[in-house]
Amino acid sequence: MSKTLASHAAPAPRAKKATARAALVDLPEASRTILMDCFRQFGIEGVAVSANAAERLHKEKFEACVIRLNPAAQAVMESARKSPSNSRMVIYGVGGNAHEAMHYSKFGINAVFHEPLERTAALKLVRSTRMLVMHEFRRYVRIPVMTEVAVMPGDGHRFTATSIELSSGGMSLKSGEEVSPGMNLEVSFALLTLPRVTVRAAVSWRKNKSFGVRFDASDDRRHPLKAWIDAFLES
């Protein structure tokens, strides 16, 4: 009887073979364990990095990096972004909120794990960004990136928003300011390797505190942005 049951038992799930690596920089053991498990489910190997983190991320190839958002993180992120191998790597911050993450926006932080780290939320974030880490760009044409964006509606009122995702055709942002679909405005922002871009756009959707804008296709000022995105996806 036991032999029959054994023959019909479902095979144990097999872990996906790792095809990308994520550096887990100076994380507490509990957080590191959670993230290693989350990344492993999508074929991404989590690699603990502590000593000489800036040097390793400058010389050693990683597809992603997870780092705590504190003053020591700046040197590590700067080293990675100046590295020929890791200049386009996906950077996840740990801790703080979107406002605090803006202190590091010039390094192109892609997403933030909030503390205390919770496995379900962490798994959801890894799932939503895994294609970017795995370089499956044909299926992922939007780049998650957090940076400060100056928004200038036609009425002259100016406010600041936080970017969520970016593409050559538009972007999604987060702000408590009131906007409505169809509203014309200009957005202005910069990234580490992209000088400030200002481009005309129109609000395409609004949900809670998030909204999307579509860039004006006739505005030639968006061409440097398109070239930057193409280079990012091809790297």
Indicate whether 132 and 52 sit together in one domain.
Answer: yes
Residue 166 one-letter amino acid: L
The answer to whether the CB of 26 falls within 8 A of the CB of 65 is no
Answer yes or no: is 7 within a domain.
Answer: no
Does 116 sit behind a cis peptide bond, omega within 30 degrees of 0 on the bond before it? Answer: yes
Indicate whether 79 and 27 sit together in one domain.
Answer: yes
In this structure, is the dihedral angle defined by the CA atoms of residues 81, 84, 85 and 90, taken in order, positive or negative?
positive
CA nearest 103: which of 78, 70, 64, 149? 70
Indicate whether 109 and 153 sit together in one domain.
Answer: no
**How large is the average pLDDT for residues 29-46?**
96
* Residue where one domain finishes, among candidates 139, 154, 183: 139
Indicate whether 80 and 149 sit together in one domain.
Answer: no
Indicate whether 58 and 167 sit together in one domain.
Answer: no
Domain that holds residue 76: 20-139
Indicate whether 166 and 205 sit together in one domain.
Answer: yes
pLDDT (tens digit, 9 = 90+) per residue, 188-205?
A: 998 877 889 999 999 999
The band of 212, judged by pLDDT with boundaries at 50, 70 and 90, is very high
- What's the predicted TM-score (pTM) here? 0.75
- The structural domain count of the chain equals 2
**How large is the average pLDDT for residues 41-64?**
94
pLDDT (tens digit, 9 = 90+) per residue, 112-160?
A: 999 899 999 999 999 989 988 887 655 457 888 888 999 999 877 899 9
Which of helix, strand or coil describes residue 227?
helix
